[in-house]
């Protein structure tokens, strides 16, 4: 026989059950201890474990401003590049367009002939592409810089264009041919002049062999000295 409860008693029982289900239970908080594995960088098992996560020291950043349609940039090639470089305060310090003739430069990629930011900054580009490079000083001219143009610890900004790429350095341009010189036949002939002939030797005048005769008797002495007269030259004085 099933006993029937009054409806009021049934509602009271249902309310008690609902209250018991909604009342939060007391919880205990267990202190969480961070394990070493959570802060350990992933390393091969034969390398000793260290605590901590790797942090970036410096980063080369870039923005592709034009996607090239030529061949992709490759290692061990010669790159011909147009560029303009600025300091982070906006000062332009160099540009290939300001060089004589506005010619681009060529360098072997990855051969340490340029700053490290350039030796890695063209990866992923295509010939004809343009890119803006944000180069930290560690990948540029270092702590010392290149005074007075590049200050110490100077981060740099470059706009670069990969003009071409080749296996060998490009040949230098042939200088323009000099202007044509007139031929000898076109040059009017100059009259020839003959220097006057000179005597073989300059013959001195003949010397007298004997001195002039001396008078046998001296002339009478005048009471007053006569005016001085020119004496004949001595032969040895000639």
Mean pLDDT, the chain, as a whole number? 75
DSSP string, 165-187: EESSPPPPPPPPPPPPPPPGGGS
94, 119, 155, 159: the catalytic one is 94
| Residue 140 near residue 156 (C-beta atoms within 8 A) | yes
CATH class of the region 61-166? alpha beta
109, 115, 137, 150: the catalytic one is 115
| Residue 65 near residue 131 (C-beta atoms within 8 A) | yes
Measured CA to CA, the distance from residue 138 to residue 89 in angstroms comes to 18
Give yes or no: 94 in active site: yes
Give yes or no: 107 in active site: no
Computed on alpha carbons and rounded to an integer, the radius of gyration of the chain in Å comes to: 55
62, 109, 122, 158: the catalytic one is 158
| Residue 144 near residue 152 (C-beta atoms within 8 A) | yes
90 is written with which tokens?
Answer: 């906006």
Give yes or no: 115 in active site: yes
| Residue 78 near residue 167 (C-beta atoms within 8 A) | yes
pLDDT, position 78: 97
Which whole number is the average pLDDT over 125-133? 98
Counts of helices then strands in the chain (DSSP H, E): 2, 6
Q: Is residue 94 pLDDT above 60, yes or no?
A: yes
pLDDT in tens, 19-51: 445 444 544 444 444 444 445 557 788 999 889
79, 105, 141, 186: the catalytic one is 141
pLDDT, position 173: 73
83, 134, 155, 157: the catalytic one is 83
Give yes or no: 97 in active site: no
78, 93, 107, 134: the catalytic one is 93
pLDDT, position 154: 97
Give yes or no: 58 in active site: no
| Residue 107 near residue 165 (C-beta atoms within 8 A) | no
pLDDT in tens, 102-117: 999 999 999 999 999 9
pTM over 0.95: no
User: E strands along the chain, which residues?
Assistant: 61-66, 78-87, 92-95, 105-108, 130-135, 156-166
Give yes or no: 158 in active site: yes
């Amino acid at each position: 026989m099933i006993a029937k409860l009054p409806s009021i008693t049934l509602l009271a029982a249902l309310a008690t059950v609902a209250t018991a289900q909604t009342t939060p239970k007391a919880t205990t908080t267990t202190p969480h201890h961070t394990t070493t594995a959570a802060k350990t960088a992933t390393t091969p098992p034969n390398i000793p474990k260290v605590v901590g996560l790797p942090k970036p020291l410096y980063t080369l950043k870039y923005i592709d401003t034009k996607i090239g349609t030529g061949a992709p940039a490759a290692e061990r090639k010669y790159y011909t590049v147009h560029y303009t470089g600025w300091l982070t305060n906006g000062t332009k310090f160099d540009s290939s367009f300001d060089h004589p003739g506005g010619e681009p430069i060529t360098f072997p990629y990855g051969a340490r002939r340029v700053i490290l930011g350039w030796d890695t900054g063209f990866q992923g580009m295509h010939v004809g592409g343009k890119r803006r490079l944000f180069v930290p000083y560690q990948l540029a001219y270092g702590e010392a810089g290149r005074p007075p143009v590049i200050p110490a610890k100077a981060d740099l900004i470059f706009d670069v264009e990969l003009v071409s790429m080749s296996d060998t350095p490009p040949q230098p341009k042939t200088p323009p041919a000099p202007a044509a010189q007139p031929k000898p036949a076109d040059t009017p002939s100059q009259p020839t002049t003959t220097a006057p002939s000179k005597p073989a030797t300059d013959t001195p005048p003949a010397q007298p062999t004997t001195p002039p005769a001396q008078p046998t008797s001296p002339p009478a002495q005048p009471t007053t000295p006569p005016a001085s007269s020119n004496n004949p030259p001595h032969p040895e004085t000639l």
